[in-house]
Every structure is written in C-alpha cells, then in structure tokens.
Amino acid sequence: MKVIRTKKKGYQPASWQQGEIILHALTAPVTYLDPNRRIIWMNQRGLNYLNLTASEIEGARCYEVWQKRLTPCPSCPLQEVLETGQTREAEITTADGRIWNLRAHPVLDEEGKTVGVVEVRQDITERKKMELAWRESEERFRAIFERSLLCVYIHDLSGRFLEVNEAMLHLLGYSRDELLSLNWTSLLEEKQLPRAFMVLNELIKTGRQKEPCEFQWRCKDGRKIWIEAEACLIPRWDELPLILGVAHDISRRKEMEQKLLASLEEKEILLREIHHRVKNNLQVISSLLDLRAMRTQDKRLRELCEEARAKIQTMALIHTHIYQSGEFTRIALKNYLRDLIHYLAQIHSDKKRAITVEITGEEIKLSVNQAMALALVINEAIANAYKHAFPEGLAGKIIIDLQRREQDSVCIRIKDNGVGLPDNLNFEQTTTLGWKLMRHLVTDQLRGRLEIRGKDGTEVKIEFPIIKGGEYG
C-alpha cells in the first residue's frame, strides 16, 4: 500500500499504522485521494462495497470505481475541495443506484497547500427510500385530505383544530384562520357536550369510535346543520395523540326523517282512533243486544242475543288489544286469548260448575285478519264446550294449545275432558249455524283445515298457514 510521505517534520509511521487499524474498523467507506483524484488508500469497508482488493483499486480514479465513468463527474465535490481547500458535503448516487452522503476533507501540508482529499461516505439509500415513501404518503394524505368531499379535520385532545379541509370550510362558512382559532366543542350545542366528551373518552381508551355519532354544528351565519361524525386516534411517540375526524352533512336526511316520523305519527293516531271507534261501535251494538235480551221473555231469543253479543265482544276485544299495544298490524294471540277466555267464562259459567281453561304452548303473532277469524272459531268452540261438554254439576277442564309448525304454519287444539260428541253426529253434514261458521272461517278465510274428534271429550284441531306479508315476522 502506498502512503504519501511529506518532507515535513512530524511523520510518524507507528501512529499511521494505529490510525489505519481504526480506519479499517469504521462502518463507513473512507478513501484517501491525491490531487488528481487517484485512490491512494481505502479502508476495508469501502473495498467490501466495491468488491475489490487494495491492489485492484490502487491508482484508479474515484469516478472510475464508483461511477463507472471515464471522465470526472459534473459538479464533483472533490474538485471543489481541491479548489477551495474547504470541506464539502453532498449527496451523490453511484452507478449501482446507491445514494451516499459524501463528506470530503482537504489534506493540507504545513504550508497550507492541499495535497490530497479524505473522502468519507455514508450509505443513506434506505433512509432516502423511507423519506421518499414518507413524502409520497404525506402527499397522498394531503391530496385525500384536501380533495375529499367529506369534512376532514384534525384536533388535539382539548378540541383545538389543527387542520381542516376545504369541504369543512365550505360547509361551515368559515375561513381557515377563523376555524383554526376555534375549538371543536364550540361548534356544538351545550346539551351535546356530554356525548362529545363520552366519544373523546372512548377514543382515548380504544383508539376509535364503535359507531358514528350525530351532532349539530353551528355555521358562521348562525345556521345549525346535522352532521354524522366518526373519528380515530392518531398516536405520536413524543407528544400527546391527536384526533382525526371525518364528518358529512346529514341535514337533508334528518329533515326527511322528521317528516317521515311526523307522517308515521299521524297515521298511528289515525289508526288508533279508527280501532278505538270500531271498538266503541261494537260495544254499542253489544249493549243493544244485551238490552234486548233483558227485555224478552223468549229463552231462545235470549240465547241468540247472548251468542251474537259474544261474537261481537270477541271482535271488539281484538280492537282493544290493538289500541292498547300500539302495534296495528299484528296480534299476540296468547295474550289476547287470556282476555277472551276471561270474558267467555263470565257469560257461560255459573256457580254450579267448576270449569277451568288453560292456555299452553308458545306465543304466536298473527295479522289482524287472521286473528279475527281465528278468534271467532275459538269463541264458538269454547262456547260449545261450556254449553254441551259439562252437564250441570260436572266439573271440567278446557285446554287451548298453540303451536307453530315448520314452514310458517300454526296448529291450535281446543280440547275438553267433557262428555264428548254423540256417536251418530256427522260433523261434515251438520247444518248447525255454529259448525257451519267454524268450517267457513277455517277453510275460506284461514285457508286451513278443521278436524273435530268426539271421543274422550271433544277436540277441535285447527291448522292453517301464516299468510306471507300477513304481518307475522
């Protein structure tokens, strides 16, 4: 290895050898060049980068080994050092695509003349890639931030705005400086502050909201607009985290919701009033029949009035349940039957008989039309049980079982433990008004099937499908 020796006093080979060991241990390439930019010496790190030996690079020029050029590089920092005698620093890219931070130091003799250059390179390729990626990411974020049609904003944990995009300025009517001087909570009504702080606590604990929240913002001109906002936490290593929020104007949607709610409320009031008036009219008819039954001496006419009144009360009771429940399209059957049974027990039972009625099975909801037809069938079946299944003095039990079958069908059994039906009774051929009414309601209106068994008591079995769109969910 060649070493430039000066004639000046002070050259100490032993000290150079120690320094050479240190230079070889450095992780950065170090090169010593003469004024013609020929390589005199290079440490081991530089040789490793170039994949060359000391003998292969000796006497070669720097631009030949690093840049694969035959002529000096334009704007060469080494040339500036040789001309000015001052240290220079620059970023250069070598032929293999690596980016280096190059720092060139002049080597001066005792007279101050530049007799060489020491070049120290630091490979900053990965750092530059990261900087480029960060810059591209920042540019993408800025483009999305500024060009988004949604309101995008950043504020600190105290609510002070740090960044806002054009969409937010346009929506609220503020200038950028005006909005950056405000606090996020200053846009809200006082009654909304507890919810805003609750969202902030959720962000601090979990990093993001569980679901978007609706707030009202005050515009610069005093208008109030509804927005739907969602935010997440932006962590920072050395400082408190920030809040990134996205919001969009839902004023039009809220206006439509208010109109729909008002319209729905009007319809509910109307339906409630209709059911209330129908119930009252049926009660009036029931009272007239009751009055007529009280004034007649004809036992058969009195019975007919009682039967008609029971049917009317059965229908009126449905309208009562609809009015009280607020659900105008469906009837909870099991709950309704409890009230119906209570009413039928009052008009059919007497002190001489102990007849109990039990309702079993699951709750089933039916449309009003289906519930009305079914209620009349059950009314007729229970009335017959009270009249004929238990002779005077005989106690008994009536069970009404409700079951929902597969494919949205219903099976209802009304069974008593009374005396049963006569052996010679042909249900299909009987012309009794009650039986004919039950057959008509089940087959025509419920579109189902009716079976009646008369052994070991009487069992009425009703099966029918739940009508699709028939308001059963």
| pTM of the complete model beyond 0.85 | no
Torsion of CA 199, 201, 202, 205, to 10 degrees: 160
Q: Is 326 exposed, middle or buried (0-12, 13-18, 19+ CB in 10 A)?
A: exposed
List 355's β-bridge partners, or say none. 396
Q: How confident is the model at residue 369 (pLDDT cuts 50, 70, 90)?
A: confident
pLDDT digits (tens, 9 = 90+) for 216-229: 999 999 899 999 99
Q: Is 125 helix (H, G, I), strand (E, B) or coil?
A: helix
Helix axes 299-325, 333-348, angle to 10 degrees: 150
Alpha carbons 349 and 356: distance in angstroms, whole number: 10
Alpha carbons 174 and 14: distance in angstroms, whole number: 74
pLDDT digits (tens, 9 = 90+) for 24-62: 778 789 999 898 889 888 988 888 888 888 888 888 888
| Torsion region of 313: left, alpha or beta (phi above 0 gives left; psi -120 to 50 gives alpha) | alpha
Q: Is the pLDDT of residue 2 over 50?
A: no
Give the highest mean pLDDT range of 281-290, 305-314, 335-344. 335-344
Q: Which residues, in sequence order, are CB contacts of 105 under 8 Å at separation 6+?
A: 81, 87, 117, 118, 119, 120
Alpha carbons 364 and 404: distance in angstroms, whole number: 7
Helix axes 299-325, 251-295, angle to 10 degrees: 160
The mean pLDDT value for 437-450 works out to 87
pLDDT digits (tens, 9 = 90+) for 240-249: 889 999 999 9
Which helix or strand (DSSP H or E) is residue 292 part of? helix 251-295
Tell me what pLDDT residue 15 has: 62
Which helix or strand (DSSP H or E) is residue 360 part of? strand 355-361
Choice among 291-300, 432-441, 453-462 with the minimum mean pLDDT = 291-300
C-alpha distance from residue 353 to each of 194, 217, 381, 390, 395 (Å): 64, 71, 18, 8, 5
Give the tokens for residue 429: 């051929």
Give the tokens for residue 56: 């292969």
φ, ψ at 449 (rounded to 5°): -130, 140
Q: How confident is the model at residue 471 (pLDDT cuts 50, 70, 90)?
A: very low
Mean pLDDT, the chain, as a whole number?
A: 81
DSSP 283: H
Torsion of CA 421, 424, 425, 429, to 10 degrees: 170
Question: CB neighbours (10 Å) of residue 314?
Answer: 22
Q: Which residues, in sequence order, are CB contacts of 185 under 8 Å at separation 6+?
A: 159, 193, 196
* 377: nearest Cα among 457, 467, 440, 425: 440
* 286: nearest Cα among 317, 312, 307: 312
